[in-house]
Chain A
Amino acid sequence: MELEAFKVALDDWLGEHEGELAPTYGGSGTLDEQMDHLNKVKRLTFDAGFMRMGWPERVGGLGGSSLLRAYLGEALTARDLVEPGIYSMPEVLAPTMIDYAPEALAAAMVPRLLRGDEVWCQGFSEPDAGSNLGSLMCRATQTDDGWRVKGQKVWTSLAQYAHRCVLLTRTGTPESAHHGITALFVDMDSPGITVRPIETMHGAQEFCEVFFDDVMVPLDRLLGEVDGGWSIAMDLLPYERSTALWHRAAYLQRRLQQLISAVPPGALHPSAVGEVTELLWAFRARSRSTQRRLAAGDKLGPETSVDKVLVATAEQAVFDLVAEGLGADLAGADDAVSRRWRSEFLYSRAATIYGGSAEIQRNIIARRLLELGGDR
């Protein structure tokens, strides 16, 4: 199906089913409520066929361009039917499975993720491996019975809900850096896994610590090659900066519009409103060309770091404007609407931290796009 036809069909369907798809809770809801609701929306859109568009048939999709996925997320987010952060995770996890998992495993598992039957998480960061991901230490040892995994992950989003985990482990020597990393697909109900949610300042328990205490992972749950995990991580990161960011732009646009509608006259300076609008439009213009390149089959690379810097800048600019226009509510009101503004304002502070910090993105831009050579 072509994009224009898809837009019409989806918009019609969303119009008819909006009541069924809308959250039943007010404000942000709790994370439990958000997850239940997300899985319901995914199931309904999957069963109606929309969620299957843009994914290959061999993993339960219906084929077609990745632009269809970009538009589905945009449409759901613009109508406030999903929270884009948790909605967009399959945009990173599913392509990894499609590209690197054994065919039968991908065919069996990916539809469960897309339909919302399962939640997956991404076990990358560790207490001592944040921006320097290549220093990760969670050890996997190959035995006759499978991979024995021992170590710890942190900042693992939604691990407490997850059925599976795409896990990066150390299989080489401690000095092997990015050469000795292997990716595994781990069942989160395996004996030896302990999940401890972390309460963040925006009031959710979205991130977790995950402990692996001699967890056994079957040998056929290897993703890609042994010691080839780094290239999986590198291939996956541009996905994190393409379709998912387009969804995020739709969210920021909705919130900016809601802010404009909510503020009392005179509360915002025209120059500030104009500048934030321009920053958000700039991101959208940039991301649009990225969506086109992805759909055309181009391999996305370090240039997506520009997209990431722009979206983080736009997100913080939008919520700085929220603080300017609704600062008193943000600081002192406890109604559901204000609590939501507050939570999302606080979450926006992390936009330059998660998914590769602002500094790491600039390092990539300097080294790979400006070709400034190595740094000190």
Chain B
Amino acid sequence: MEGAELELFERGIRRATDSGSGAALDAALAGLGWRDALAEDRRRAVSVLFECQGAANVTSSALSQLLLVGLGLGPGDRPTTVLLPLLRTRDAPGRLQDDRCVVRGLATSDLDRSETVLVVAGTDHGHTAVALPPSELSRRAVGGIDPGLGMLELDGDVAAHGAEPGGPVDWTTAVSLGHLALGHELVGAARAMLGLARAHALERIQFGQPIATFQAVRHRLADSLVAIEAAAALLAAAWDEPSPVSASIAKSSAGRGARTAARHCQQVLAGIGFTTEHPFHRYYRRTMVLDQVLGAGTVLTAELGAEVLRSGTLPPVLPL
């Protein structure tokens, strides 16, 4: 997609994310043919939707659908939730041993619309996927810092032979696609925080002038933009030169960008940004969780550094 077609797609997606969340957004995305777009132009489908989703602070089942594609299993016809690892880690949420599958992971709020939970399970040789009815697993609602996400922690120890164990699946590729999606969502949310802080700085009058005239305020907003643009550039580069390392760097940098933007924007928003009367807190909460999904930013960064030190070699560079 490019030019007018891309613009039309962007406008449609933005209208959808601005007007509904959860089941309503899923329905709107189905109407817009987002899944076809995912098949035809994965980069645009993912970057546009997830940035808009982050900017509008809404949820959908798109991450599950994307992970299914990454696993080589979808998007299927039956509504399926792909179980995420617990926060902080990117290890697959299931473990297959003998004829049992031990499961512990996080489901997104689309679980109540799904017939199936797909659990990726580590084996001695790699990964496989096990499809389970949601009722097979016990669930606990995760409140946490962002209850609006409606996440659920699922766990269970189920007989694997009754659970349709499939062939090998590519968890690494699925995680990398997830990293890109989450990176775009973080960038979208961070841009929204910057937008809120910018608007406040131009409206808020102190000492007889908008606080946007003060260099201390301007530099915080400038630093926020730099951090966001750095993440956006890494995401673009990771699409250009796809690899697990480039996706992981993009995701952890998007988390860092969001943390930087949140810190500066909250300070600029000052008192009002500390209340629930202003929308800032929703974005802050959301980015705190997204930064932890499929590997916390700090964990990914430490893993990258450990690998550099172990191998004595920097990761491959982006060619000109």
Known: A257-B314, A278-B249. A271 touches B301 (CB 8 A): yes
Q: How far, in angstroms, from A237 to B221 measured CA to CA in the complex?
A: 23
Bound together, the chains give a CA A257 to CA B253 distance in angstroms of 20
CB of A317, distance to nearest CB on chain B (Å): 12
Known contacts: A286-B229, A373-B210. The answer to whether A277 contacts B308 by CB under 8 A is yes
Instruction: Assess the A363–B302 pair: CB atoms within 8 A.
Output: no
Which of chain A's residues have a CB closer than 8 A to the CB of B320? Answer: 3, 67, 70-71, 74, 246, 288, 291
Chain B residues contacting A310 (CB-CB under 8 Å) are 226, 230
Q: A260-B309, A310-B226, A372-B212 are in contact. Are A363 and B218 (CB under 8 A)?
A: yes
Complex: A70 Cα to B201 Cα, angstroms: 39
State whether B315 touches A285 (Cβ < 8 A): no
Given contacts A375-B213, A375-B215, A376-B213, contact A281 B302 (CB under 8 A): no
**Cross-chain contact B308 with A260 (CB below 8 angstroms):** yes
Known: A74-B320, A277-B305, A277-B308. A306 touches B298 (CB 8 A): no
Interface residues as binary, B223-237 with A (CB distance below 8 Å gives 1, 0 otherwise): 101100111011011
The listed residue with most B CB atoms (<10 A of its CB), out of A74, A271, A282, is: A282
A313 to B302, CA, bound (A): 19
Is the interface on chain B under 10, 10 to 19, 20 to 34, or 35 or more residues?
35 or more
Q: Contacts of B214 on A, CB cut-off 8 Å? A: 375-376
Shortest distance from the beta carbon of B206 to any chain A beta carbon, whole Å: 12
**Chain A 359-376, CB within 8 Å of chain B: the 1/0 string?**
101110111011011111
Cβ of A275 under 8 Å from chain B: yes
What is the CA–CA distance of A271 and B305 in the complex, to the nearest angstrom? 6
B312 contacts which chain A residues (CB < 8 A)?
260-261
CA distance A375 to B236 in the complex (A): 33
By beta carbon, the residue of chain B nearest A374 is: B213
Q: Which of B223-260 contact A (CB under 8 A)?
A: 223, 225-226, 229-231, 233-234, 236-237, 249, 252-253, 256
Q: A253-B317, A372-B198, A372-B202 are in contact. List 20 more A-B contacts (CB 8 A).
A: A3-B320, A268-B309, A271-B298, A273-B308, A274-B304, A274-B306, A275-B305, A277-B249, A277-B304, A278-B249, A281-B249, A286-B230, A306-B226, A313-B226, A362-B219, A370-B222, A373-B202, A375-B215, A376-B209, A376-B215
A residues adjacent to B (C-beta < 8 A):
3, 67, 70-71, 74, 246, 253, 256-257, 260-261, 265, 268-275, 277-279, 281-286, 288-289, 291, 306, 309-310, 313, 359, 361-363, 365-367, 369-370, 372-376
Query: Could you name 17 residue pairs across A and B whose Cβ atoms are closer than 8 Å?
Result: A70-B320, A256-B314, A265-B309, A270-B309, A271-B305, A272-B305, A275-B301, A275-B305, A281-B317, A284-B237, A285-B236, A306-B225, A310-B230, A359-B219, A370-B222, A373-B210, A373-B213
Q: Which residues of B line the A interface, CB within 8 A?
A: 198, 201-202, 209-210, 212-215, 218-219, 221-223, 225-226, 229-231, 233-234, 236-237, 249, 252-253, 256, 298, 300-306, 308-309, 312-315, 317-318, 320
